[in-house]
Amino acid sequence: MDETKHKSSAYSSNLSGTAVAERQAEAKEIAESLAGNTHAEPAKASRYAPVTVSQQSADSSPIQDFLGFVKQTRRIWLMVAGGIFGLFVLVMGVSRLSEWVTKSRERRQEKAVATVSPERLLARCGQPLEDTTKDMYPILMRTMTYQVSRTETYIFDFSRTAEENSDWVFLSMKDANGKSYETPEEKVGAMSCIDSRK
């Protein structure tokens, strides 16, 4: 039993010697850290980046902030500007195309009306309801009447000189009520066969 006591006391003195050494090392560490001579491991790096405010960003103006924002979002701004430009070009193109189609139609109608003669009217619109020629020396007057529907009747007046080689000149177009059609658009609108390709 003495042996057990002896082993136990040797172990406890050994243990207390180790505890004392640990305490002394701990005290030494505390003293060094208070003195500023720390040799301890550096602190773990934070997973968040530190935020630093430079003097320049502290003094920045709203204009500089806006310019910085524009630089960061430059690609979006370019896409928006390109879209607006494309839309503008599309609208202008459609407008010009519409204008060109309108002018082309007006020119075609003017040409069709300018070339109306009794022969072309017969070729384009067929046989008239009535076709009369009056000799009013030194000119001849020719009236052609077309009935398009029950309520629509159009009268075309032509004249030429009594000479055999003279051409007929288109004078006027009226309806049965006496309404006169003046513009090429009105004439073609009332009787579309005038503008046919014949």
Please, which residues have CB within 8 angstroms of residue 173's CB and are 6 or more apart in sequence? 154, 155, 156, 157, 180, 181, 187, 190, 191
1 pLDDT above the threshold of 70: no
What pLDDT sits at residue 194? Answer: 85
For tokens 């039993």, what's the residue? 1
What is the overall mean pLDDT for the chain?
81
What residues are paired with 172 via a beta bridge?
157
Residue 124: CB atoms within 10 A of its CB come to 18
Domains and CATH numbers, the chain: 115-195 (3.30.1450)
Are the C-beta atoms of 187 and 172 separated by less than 8 Å? no
What pLDDT sits at residue 52? Answer: 62
What span, in angstroms and rounded, lies between the C-alpha atoms of 142 and 128? 12
11 pLDDT above the threshold of 90: no
Percent of the chain with pLDDT over 90: 22
Please, which residues have CB within 8 angstroms of residue 108's CB and are 6 or more apart in sequence? 195
42 pLDDT above the threshold of 60: no
Please, which residues have CB within 8 angstroms of residue 170's CB and are 6 or more apart in sequence? 113, 114, 116, 117, 156, 157, 158
Q: pTM of the full predicted structure? A: 0.52
For tokens 């020119």, what's the residue? 107
Residue 79 structure tokens: 């896409």
Q: pLDDT of 66-123, one tens digit each? A: 888 888 888 888 899 999 999 999 999 999 999 999 999 888 888 888 888 899 888 8
Residue 114 structure tokens: 């300018």
DSSP label at residue 127: S
Q: Is the peptide bond before 138 cis (omega within 30 degrees of 0)?
A: yes
